[in-house]
Amino acid sequence: MFRHDIIIVGGGLAGLRAALEAGGDVAVISRVHPLRSHSVAAQGGINVALGSTDRWEDHAFDTIKGSDYLADQDAVEVLCKDAPQRVIEMEHWGTLFSRVDGMIAQRPFGGAGYPRTAYAEDRTGHALLHTMYEQALKKGIKFYEEWLITRLVVAGGKCMGLVGYNIADGNIGGFQAKAVIFATGGYGRIYQRSTNSIINTGFGCAVAYRAGAALEDMEFVQFHPTTLYGANILITEGARGEGGFLKNKNGERFMKRYSPNLLDLAPRDIVARAIQTEINEGRGFEGGYVNLELMHIGERNIKERLPGIRQIAMDFANIDPVREPIPIQPGQHYSMGGIASDKDCRTSIKGFYACGECSCISVHGANRLGGNSLLETIVFGKIAGENAKEYAKTRDFESQDTIDKAVDDETGRISAPLNKKDGEPFFTIRDELKKALDENVGIFRNEMNLSSALRKTRELQSRYKNVYIRYKGAVFNQELVNAIELEGMLDIAEVICMGALARRESRGSHYRLDHPARDDANWLKHTLVAFTPEGPKIEYKPVNITMYQPKAREY
């Protein structure tokens, strides 16, 4: 049994920022070493209104408009107001932002009316995460690395702690806490074509869901317009922010048809649909891609501002973007939905908080603007840490019997597939799930395909009961870890399909071919899905509108 006042699950930017703010007897539990968290993969930059020519109100409006007016505007206000302080704090802690004339450099990003995306070349997440981890080491924060949290322990509506599986030795342990924060990342790996790390299975969301926390707006899945063809490695929006543009096989800059004002720097949902439309209508290259051209930017600018992208293109496509275009296609990238949380990062469970991509504080609504995800981690990571700290002061540790019983229950549940002598291997179910989502719950959706995906997901849930583990060892049994996470992936997929099937409109990343118009009269509301013994239950709640009334998006 382990005991800490505050336990944070997730070692990325949101989790580390929460730990720094919580201070005291705090611990971070991470599925991987913190510097292997998916935050390290963020490339293009972090949005912030700096100087006198840009205002937080303008940042907020761009965010709300980009969200297709589904974002909670009180939360967006917190995000954009706090941005300058958090970014400057990171610089003072040691983040080496790119600079122009001594000032932090900022580049244009999609959907923004001002070049407000600060960056560190095209490795911004890498720079921020290393800085944050250094601060955590400096503060002496306790880390439990290579633990998979499998259960959130709740009694009487209060969070009591956690149960985790130690990947390194196979032991199952209990963690008692006065407050728990989840910062476990997104669920992109339920899709095959994704920019996400393989650890981004959404398992944290699934654990919270099974414990009684509602999931919000899960049908809103972002597809990044530009991932490297065939590999789906992210090609940052910063490449277009630096002047890159898209061309189809006819050599046409086709974005003028879809966004005549912003062209290649329209919001991601618009650009992704435009690229997929070009491919679907036969104007893409054979195999299904279009080109991203950077050659005109110049060799010096590419090497100075986009060195990571050049390296990716050279290593994984044998292409030097100084001389050749990069073949790109859309791919799953980000999870707008997550654990339902308010602007103080509180959930419906007392003592349980969520921040970062696993949460849905709803600053992104139906479509996230590039550059706002890194910002969300450090703004709401801080808020989660300070609120968990204040809550923990009001509680004493209770009897550990509840945690002990949960450990016994999890030991039996996790060992069950190990004790089977035959059955179905996890990967056949996993691969069928990914294929079903890629084909039916992608950029373009309709009732027939969504219904098919939902039926398939439920069939796979039934088949999951027969999963067995071929490798019986305790040390680094990754087969068992993958099988455990697969159950959560199936839960998440079911919720996404249900929310998408019910939402009969098109808004942001959720585009229904059979309901192509946005319908504010009936669907300007958030989807909430709760786990019940009878199955998932859908409810809705209103969007918080404070500053800007919804109107048509024009780009």
What are the residues facing 48 on neighbouring strands? none
Dihedral sign (CA 32, 153, 16, 366):
positive
* DSSP per position, 284-313: SBTTTBEEEE-GGG-HHHHHHH-HHHHHHH
Cα dist from 413 to 320, 459, 497, whole Å? 50, 21, 27
Proportion of the chain in helix, strand, coil states, percent, rounded to 5: 40, 20, 40
Neighbours of 419 (CB within 10 A): 10
Calculate the dihedral angle through the C-alpha atoms of 436, 438, 439, 443, rounding to the nearest 10 degrees.
140
Give the Cα separation of 465 and 482 in Å (integer): 15
Cα dist from 309 to 43, 46, 254, 292, whole Å? 9, 17, 23, 12
Among 268, 346, 445, 553, which one carries the catalytic annotation? Answer: 268
Annotation says 268 is catalytic: yes
Give the Cα separation of 215 and 340 in Å (integer): 5
Q: Are 141 and 19 in contact (CB under 8 A)?
A: yes
Give the Cα separation of 53 and 114 in Å (integer): 9
Strand stretches in 336-459, DSSP E = 338-340, 352-354, 359-360
Cα dist from 412 to 168, 415, 417, whole Å? 19, 5, 10
3-state secondary structure 467-500: ECCCCCCCCCCHHHHHHHHHHHHHHHHHHHHHHH
Picking from 390, 400, 460, the residue whose alpha carbon sits closest to that of residue 427 is: 460
Cα dist from 341 to 42, 138, 221, 275, 338, whole Å? 23, 30, 18, 33, 8
Catalytic residues: 268
